[in-house]
A and B are shown apart, each in its own frame.
Chain A
Amino acid sequence: MHCSIRSHNQGGLFVSSQTIEAPKPKLSRRGGTLYRGREGMWSWVLHRITGVAIFFFLLVHILDSVVLNISPDAYNAVIGTYKNPLLGLGESALVAAIVFHALNGLRIIAVDIWTWATRNQRLLFWIVVVLWVVLMAGFLPVHLHNVFTEPKH
């Protein structure tokens, strides 16, 4: 790839032309660009997917709460479905999505307003992942125990 630069003086009496080599893009890393296929892109993809999932759950969750004002029995029947093991696993997935979306959202805010965070957004992504693992490791045993065993009282 070549690109040529010409310079003219105003009267056109002097014309010089030179050719310089265009910098070759480095392709040392597979898919090796700054963004594509890297932490920045995957955090963005996950933020969208978890966001959409949470939004649709929110719609359902508000509708089930509306039943509160119909009658206690009706509400207990609806909320009872949340207690079966299958939905218990669904709640685990929902909480996993919410915790990621929350932590990554805070990362986005930091990257927007704080130069250090902009430079270290990649590190911050892995901090988000670690915090997500820690919080889920705290939540899952408690929740799954509640879902798969009978309450004590």
Chain B
Amino acid sequence: MSATIDAPRTPASGSAPRKRRTNWEKWGWIYMRVSGVLLVILIFGHLFVNLVEGDGIKAVDWAFVAGKWASPFWRIWDGLMLWLALIHGGNGMRTLVNDYAHNVTVNKLLKWGILLAVAILIVLGTYTVTAFDPCPTDPTLSFCK
């Protein structure tokens, strides 16, 4: 015995082709992985130069940072780390809030808090790494000429 099944009356995506919206969750998923790989390189390098090489944490002071930021290489390195890590961390925190904060008001409040913290720190951090002046006190330092 064979049965004939009628075609569904309603096409799956409506009569007109549905307008495709940007899938932000997909791009968030991709961002976590791409930024994650870059951050492994950037942060492992940061930890090696600041905590392992030389005298490690004992050698880190204003002059140490001035020495690094005398070259644009480390400014770009640190700036990239700042942007990638804050957005990666902020998106991770958003995931946790969505998983655990079931109250709609609390959920929204926490996510606005995360967005605000990330935005403010990106502005402050970008200002710090770009406006930093290695020669405010002693213009005779070798790299200040």
Q: Which size bracket describes the interface of A in this complex? A: 35 or more
Chain B contacts for A76, CB-based, 8 A: 61-62
Chain B contacts for A88, CB-based, 8 A: 57
How far does the alpha carbon of A123 sit from the alpha carbon of B133 in the complex, in Å?
A: 49
Chain A contacts for B121, CB-based, 8 A: 59, 62-63
* A39 CB to nearest B CB, Å: 20
Chain B contacts for A91, CB-based, 8 A: 51, 57
The interface centre, meaning the residue of B3, B57, B85, B90 with most chain A CB atoms within 10 A of its CB, is B57
How far does the alpha carbon of A91 sit from the alpha carbon of B56 in the complex, in Å?
A: 12
Given contacts A62-B82, A95-B51, contact A143 B96 (CB under 8 A): no
Which stretch of A20-28, A29-37, A105-113, A114-122 is in the interface?
A105-113
Q: Are B56 and A146 in contact (CB under 8 A)?
A: yes
User: Which residue of the partner chain, among A73, A80, A106, contacts B37 with CB atoms under 8 Å?
Assistant: A106
Q: Are A102 and B117 in contact (CB under 8 A)?
A: no
User: Which residue of the partner chain, among B57, B82, B128, contacts A68 with CB atoms under 8 Å?
Assistant: B128
Q: Are B62 and A62 in contact (CB under 8 A)?
A: no
A 56-93 to B, binary, CB cutoff 8 A, 1 in contact else 0: 00110011011011011101100110110000100100
Chain A contacts for B96, CB-based, 8 A: 48, 51-52
Q: Are A75 and B58 in contact (CB under 8 A)?
A: no
User: Chain A interface mostly helix, strand, loop or mixed?
Assistant: helix
How far does the alpha carbon of A63 sit from the alpha carbon of B128 in the complex, in Å?
A: 10
A 132-153 to B, binary, CB cutoff 8 A, 1 in contact else 0: 0000000100110011001111
Total cross-chain contacts (CB, 8 A): 111
In chain B, what residue has the closest Cβ to A92?
B51
Answer whether residue B12 sits at the interface, using C-beta atoms and an 8 A cutoff: no
User: Which residue of the partner chain, among B59, B125, B127, B136, contacts A151 with CB atoms under 8 Å?
Assistant: B59
Q: Are B128 and A66 in contact (CB under 8 A)?
A: yes
Chain B contacts for A108, CB-based, 8 A: 33
Q: Are A112 and B89 in contact (CB under 8 A)?
A: no
| 23 A-B pairs in the complex with CB atoms less than 8 angstroms apart | A55-B89, A58-B89, A62-B125, A63-B124, A65-B129, A66-B124, A66-B125, A68-B62, A72-B136, A72-B137, A75-B65, A82-B60, A83-B58, A91-B51, A105-B40, A106-B37, A109-B36, A142-B51, A143-B56, A143-B57, A146-B56, A150-B58, A151-B58
Residues of A within 8 A of B (CB): 9-10, 48, 51-52, 54-55, 58-59, 62-63, 65-66, 68-69, 71-73, 75-76, 79-80, 82-83, 88, 91, 95, 98, 102, 105-106, 108-109, 112, 139, 142-143, 146-147, 150-153
